[in-house]
Structure 1
Amino acid sequence: MISTLVWGTGNVGRAAIRAVAAHPELRLSGVLVHNPAKVGRDAGELAGLDDALGVIATDDVAAALGETGAERPRAVVYAASGDIRPDEALADVTRAIRAGAVVVTPSLYALYDQRNAPPEMRETVLAAVAEGGGSLFVSGVDPGWGNDILPALISGLGGTIDVVRCQEIFDYTTYDQEESVRYLVGMGQPMDYEPPMLAATVPTMVWGGQVRLIARALGAEIEEIRESVDRRPLESTVSTKRMGDFEAGTQGAVRFEVQGIVGGRPRIVVEHVTRIHPACMPSWPVAPDGADGAHRVIIEGRPHIEVSVQALDEDGNSSAGGNATAVGRLAHAIAWLIEAEPGLYDGLDVPLRPGRLS
């Protein structure tokens, strides 16, 4: 079995522990945490499992990577955030690669489309690969498979394809990452607040790579990438279970698109529709059956094709379900990466592997 370290135990890390522990080809060999309160706790407890896994969390990076003579993991699921610490995340990831590990992560947006990533970033990763013999596969949590391999697969069912649209529809009511929701995305902030995640060029930085991946799969040439952003205020104050109150008049919903322009018009689109409460902008696209989230691929053409995917986890939460499926894609890729040549891979390079019955 492939010894696998999970680095980080937040929203993504919890799902990663569960995915690795359940995978028949993987063995959870370690868990790295940043919060001192988590050091010494069992991985099963940190992941919300009923049973202990017998793996104790540590904050000793050198020991966890085997740099001090302990067992070196053959794989690392890097689940620590890269949203506001991209340089630190890249340093962590390349350290693991230099230790000889296959690394899978959603944390490095610029490497979703590794072929068109900033040259200095690619060179840093490839230098680590050359030094340590590890590999890197980056795929998103929004989710990566929904914006690369799924639209590529569904497009193969069509005849005439006019537009490929990938949607993430999400209600943050039950989300528990307050700093990102309030300050990165801007929910609950005055309408004159400028959310970093919605600043000009940032959506393209994060999701433009996925637009280019879809274009590569379709054999299309992107002429340029455009952005559109629509922000709307709450009409009344709402209260959320995990993050408290969001006041009337503050930002309550966001809809943005990252558009790949082909032939002078948007033909490959990644769209996000997010709310802090269902009451805000109910006229915008919503998840089926009153769920708090869904991922949808729409092929506009002949025939018209729509596929919606809903995943639920952690007491029926679709955010947790989305994280779980994104991590599942990464975990299932590890065995393939172990057999492949050391290198830097993206969502079209790595095949989607079937799961196994429990």
Structure 2
Amino acid sequence: MWRRRAPLATACAAGEASLFVNGIDPGYSGDTAVYGALSLVTRADSILVQEVCDYGNYDDFDFTGTSMGFGLTRDDEPPPLFLPGVIISMFGGLVRNIAGHVGVELDEMRQRIEPWYTDERIECAMATIEPGQLAAVRFAAVGVCGGVPVITVEHVTRLTAAAAPHWPYPPDGHIGVHRVVVEGEPRVEVNTHVSHPVFDPTDAGCISTAARAVNTIDWVCRAPSGLFAVADIPPTELIRGVMW
């Protein structure tokens, strides 16, 4: 991790610049929502950060669709997401960050990937998926301590509600949810849904992703040079400028 941070930190120092990277997932669901849930427990046994979302209306096949392997068959070469270590490289930082904040020393990181291939034709904005092709994927980065998974960042991604019917769905008919579940004393579950009066909920998620960065511009511009995480920013500075 330091090998990745060091060049950025050096560049920030040389250019007297500040860098803050965030979004909704990765971002909000793996930091702010987690910290809020953990503040309500006296003991945490495990933490699950989960995105369960129907990507059918997400018209981004060229990047998201190909990287997740939508439309591939079992006999095709695996997509980038399925390659060894890719899930950990993308989402392992969230797991390690949470572990660092709660004082857990992880023994190892694991990744798991489960594809789902449809038996029927699925048509949606993302792509048209023929029988035998991949229409859903479930993957996770898992932090293990003492042989037990303690911090998990998981995505359940499907194309339309018809895909992978045995996997979890968002509650109350929503097409997506960013969920945090803390098993402990007491158990806490936080479900976050985004919507918009005009745009699709998938588009609303893109707006929220941008908002996490846009709302911190003033603070980042005032900050000294360096790299910053959400824990470095006063919570009220994350909401500056939202009432226009």
Same fold (TM over 0.5): yes
Unaligned 5+ residue runs, structure 1? 1-116
Aligned to 1:223: 107
Q: Kindly indicate whether the alpha-carbon contact (under 8 Å) linking 2:70 and 2:133 is maintained by their aligned counterparts in 1.
A: yes
Three-state SS of the structure 1 residue aligned to 2:212 is helix
Taking the aligned partners of 1:334 and 1:312, their CA distance within structure 2 comes to 24
Equivalents in 2 of 1:198, 1:321: separation in Å?
Answer: 28
**Aligned counterpart in structure 2 of residue 290 of structure 1, from 173, 187, 192:** 173
Aligned amino acid, residue 290 of structure 1: G
SS in 2 for 1:142: coil
TM-score (norm: length of structure 2): 0.91
1:327 corresponds to 2:213: no
* Structure 2 Cα separation of the partners of residues 222 and 338 of structure 1: 35
Secondary structure (helix, strand or coil) at the match of 1:261 reads strand
Q: CA deviation at 1:303?
A: 1.2
Report which structure shows greater RCO (CA 8 Å, sep ≥6).
Answer: 2
| Distance change (3 Å), C-alpha of 1:226 and 1:244 | closer
Give the structure 1 partner of residue 94 of structure 2: 210
Contact 2:55–2:126, Cα closer than 8 Å, also in 1: no
* Partner residue in 2 for 1:304: 187
The equivalences for 1:88-167 within 5 A come to 117-119=1-3, 121-167=4-50
Matches within 5 A, 1:130-279: 130-193=13-76, 194-240=78-124, 242-279=125-162
Q: Is the 8 A contact 1:182 1:189 kept in 2?
A: no
* Structure of larger gyration radius: 1
Asked if 1 retains the 8 angstrom alpha-carbon contact of 2:65 and 2:126, the reply is no
**Are the aligned partners of 1:313 and 1:324 in contact in 2 as well (CA < 8 Å)?**
no
Residue aligning to 2:239 = 354
Cα drift, residue 244 of structure 1: 4.1
Q: TM-score, normalised by structure 1?
A: 0.63
**1: CA distance, partners of 2:74 / 2:64:** 15
Whether the 8 Å contact between 2:216 and 2:239 is mirrored in structure 1 is no
Question: 1:252 Cα shift?
Answer: 1.1
- Matching residue's letter, 1:142: D
Structure 2: give runs of 5+ residues left out of the alignment: none
Once residues 243 and 309 of structure 1 are traced to their aligned partners in structure 2, the CA distance between those partners, rounded to angstroms, is 23
Check whether the contact 2:43–2:184 (CA below 8 A) recurs between aligned residues.
yes
- State which drifts further: 162-171 or 285-294: 285-294
- Give the superposition deviation at 1:200: 1.4
SS of 1:270 mapped into structure 2: strand
Residue 281 of structure 1 and its aligned partner are, at CA, apart by: 1.4
The amino acid across from 2:93 in the alignment is G
Amino acid at match of 2:176: G
Aligned residues: 240
Q: RMSD in angstroms over aligned alpha carbons?
A: 1.7
| Residue aligned with 1:173, SS | coil
Q: 1:349, CA displacement in angstroms?
A: 2.3
CA distance in 1, matches of 2:168, 2:85: 24
| 1:182 to 1:357, Cα distance in 2 relative to 1, 3 A | closer
How far does residue 350 in structure 1 lie from its aligned partner after superposition?
2.8
- 1:254-303, CA deviations, whole angstroms, 9 ceiling, x for partnerless residues? 11111111232110100100001211112211112222111000011121
Change (3 A) 1:349 1:198: farther
Q: Distance in 2 between matches of 1:209 and 1:132?
A: 25
2:202 is matched by which residue type in structure 1?
A: S
Cα distance in structure 1, aligned partners of 2:64 and 2:232: 32
Aligned equivalents of 1:191, 1:347: Cα separation in 2: 40
The aligned counterpart of 1:342 is: 225
CA distance in structure 2 between the partners assigned to 1:314 and 1:203 by the alignment: 34
Identity %: 33
